[in-house]
Structure 1
């Protein structure tokens, strides 16, 4: 496999995680890092043996020895940096969510098409064993006609900054645009869209909440103005539906795992609370209702023994490196992320207006939230 030359833009918590993952995967040379905080950028460059440091990403993009850039910035910075990188001839790997608004996300996807460059979004749940098993069962017709899905995401008290981790930038519309739906919901919603084969949204209704107490000093410092809980119902073409509940904080002990049901079977993915249940497959045979546990470890072992490039589906960054080398086709992560943006923005719009909204309304009303560096 040819070694790919990559630059990382943003060396905060997520940027460092990406650098660690590149080191673990291998096959990559990190040519440069860029951050407005020059002191931290130089410290990180020294830690990871990166030869070049920038504080202006546009200067970095002038380099002709970079194959791709990895954008690890807050949501509202994604679109401007990604679009300029694509236009500079670089492939782009961008953190989730796609952007701060559907409008900006659509511009990113269009820029990738116009430039002929690859745009890959970090959607880690697509590479989990349960996602692979679910897709295999669905593709094999074991669920029959799919008609409903449920997307769940749970944290008891896991709001960024106010509950003890992360920075206030996660909790402000100014930099993040959204809360639980944008931060965590993207993983769960995008995975179900992938398993449902990216159906077209028609109508959305939803409600957002920020009701739980938080420490007064943390509230003041964070300027917390995004949702801690998002609820939604999505209708797709053909009658398919999906309900959504995504919590940064909620006074419960957990949610059931996400699920998909069809005319001949159903699957439930593992839940996220402490006593997580395994992935299960439900069907009827010989007039007997069957509830079965999927042996994910055995599935993974067999796939890795039989398939030369199975490793390319073990992680988002591993998939990125394999796709850059032409070993596997890039999964449609940008399109999945864009539809996820449409759904999340639709829930926000419905919550504000107090009624169901159409996909066309959401697209027409979406405005840029991009912040240019």
Structure 2
């Protein structure tokens, strides 16, 4: 397999996770890392035996021996760094969400189209066994005409920083734009959009909350000004609808996984945090039937019999395989852009207290990007 030479921009929590994943992917070669924290960048480079270290991403982009960069920064830094990388003739893999707003995400997609370079967004749920199985069942017509889907995400009490995990950058609009909807919801909404074959949204309504008790010292230190719970309802063209419930923190003992329903059958996916099984629900001979699948056995067969099955093992496996020319890149940038459009629509609907039209939302979306 052809070696893909990569530069990593940002070596915080996400950057370290990406580096760990690359270490097990044949063909991925990390040439350089960059972080404004030079000491940490040097420490990470030594751990992973990476030869070049930078504190200014612009200097990293000058290297002509780097084919692609991986942007592992907070949301509002995504657009300027990604666009600069694309214009420097690099392919770009960017951490989710695509950006802080639809406006900035659209700028990224436009830049990729203009430069002819690949833009890939980290959407981990697309590569799960249950997603691949659900996509197969839908394409084989087992659900019939699909008309509604539900996007669910649950944490009992898992707000970043204030509940012990992650940094305070996740909890402030100036770096993250939003909370649970942007941090976790992107995975589940994107998964539903992918399975629904990227329908076009027309109207969006929503409400966001921050109501649960919080350690007062952590609240003050974090500057926590984003939502812990987001609710939404989306109307698409051709009569399809999607409802959304995404919780960082909520007084419930659990929540069912996302689901899709059609005229001939329905699917319920496992809970993203706790796991579980993919189940199929239909009627046979006028008898209601609930069934499940042996996804481990299916996954084994896929990897044994299908060419390039490994290219769909993870977002990073897919990225490397696409750059090697083994598979076509999934439309993750387009999926992520529509996901951001829906998220921004929920925030605008909450602010106005009414349903919003997508055409108006696109017109009003503004940049929140910050240049490092």
State TM-score, norm by structure 2: 0.99
Q: Report if aligned partners of 1:254, 1:272 keep a CA contact under 8 Å in 2.
A: no
User: How many residues are aligned here?
Assistant: 372
**Structure 1 equivalent of residue 344 of structure 2:** 345
Moved over 4 A (4+): none
Q: Please state how far the C-alpha of 1:285 moved relative to its aligned partner.
A: 1.2
Question: Conserved in 2, the CA contact under 8 Å of 1:255 and 1:271?
Answer: yes
> Compared with structure 1, are the counterparts of its residues 17 and 273 closer, same or farther at alpha carbon in structure 2 (3 Å cutoff)?
closer
Corresponding residue for residue 209 of structure 1: 209
The reply to whether residue 44 of structure 1 matches residue 44 of structure 2 is yes
Task: Return 5+ residue gaps in structure 2 as ranges.
Answer: none
- Specify the SS of the correspondent of 2:186: helix
How do residues 152-167 of structure 1 correspond to structure 2 at under 5 angstroms? Answer: 152-167=152-167
After TM superposition, the structure 1 = structure 2 runs for residues 95-114 of structure 1, keeping only pairs within 5 Å, are: 95-114=95-114
User: Which residue is equivalent to 1:142?
Assistant: 142
Does residue 296 (structure 1) correspond to residue 277 (structure 2)? The answer is no
Aligned mates of 1:362, 1:309 — CA distance in 2: 40
Task: Map 1:1-373; keep pairs closer than 5 Å.
Answer: 1-272=1-272, 274=274, 276-373=275-372
- The SS at the match of 1:345 is helix
Counterparts of 1:118 and 1:198 in 2: how far apart (Å)? 19
Cα-to-partner distance string for 1:35-75 (whole Å, 9 max, x where unaligned): 00001000111111000000110111011000000000000
How big is the shift at 1:26? 2.5
Q: Quick check: 1:265–1:284 contact (8 Å CA) kept in 2?
A: yes
3-state SS, counterpart of residue 227 of structure 1: coil
Q: CA deviation at 1:137?
A: 0.3
How far has the Cα of 1:277 moved from its partner?
A: 3.7
Question: How far, CA to CA, are the matches of 2:25 and 2:180 in structure 1?
Answer: 29
SS of structure 2 residue aligned to 1:25? coil
Aligned partner of residue 39 in structure 1, secondary structure: helix
User: Residue 271 of structure 1: CA displacement?
Assistant: 2.0
Please list the CA deviations of residues 19-41 of structure 1 after superposition, one character each: whole Å capped at 9, or x if unmatched.
Answer: 00000113111110000000100
Normalising to structure 1: TM-score of the pair?
A: 0.99
Please give the root-mean-square deviation of Cα atoms over the aligned residues, in Å: 0.7
Q: Is 1:255–1:273's contact at 8 Å kept on the other side of the alignment?
A: no
Paired with 2:178 and 2:134, the residues of 1 have a C-alpha distance of 29
Once residues 135 and 60 of structure 1 are traced to their aligned partners in structure 2, the CA distance between those partners, rounded to angstroms, is 39
Cα shift readout 1:208-234 (whole Å, capped 9, x = no counterpart): 000001100000000000000000000
Alpha-carbon distance, 1:272 to partner: 4.2
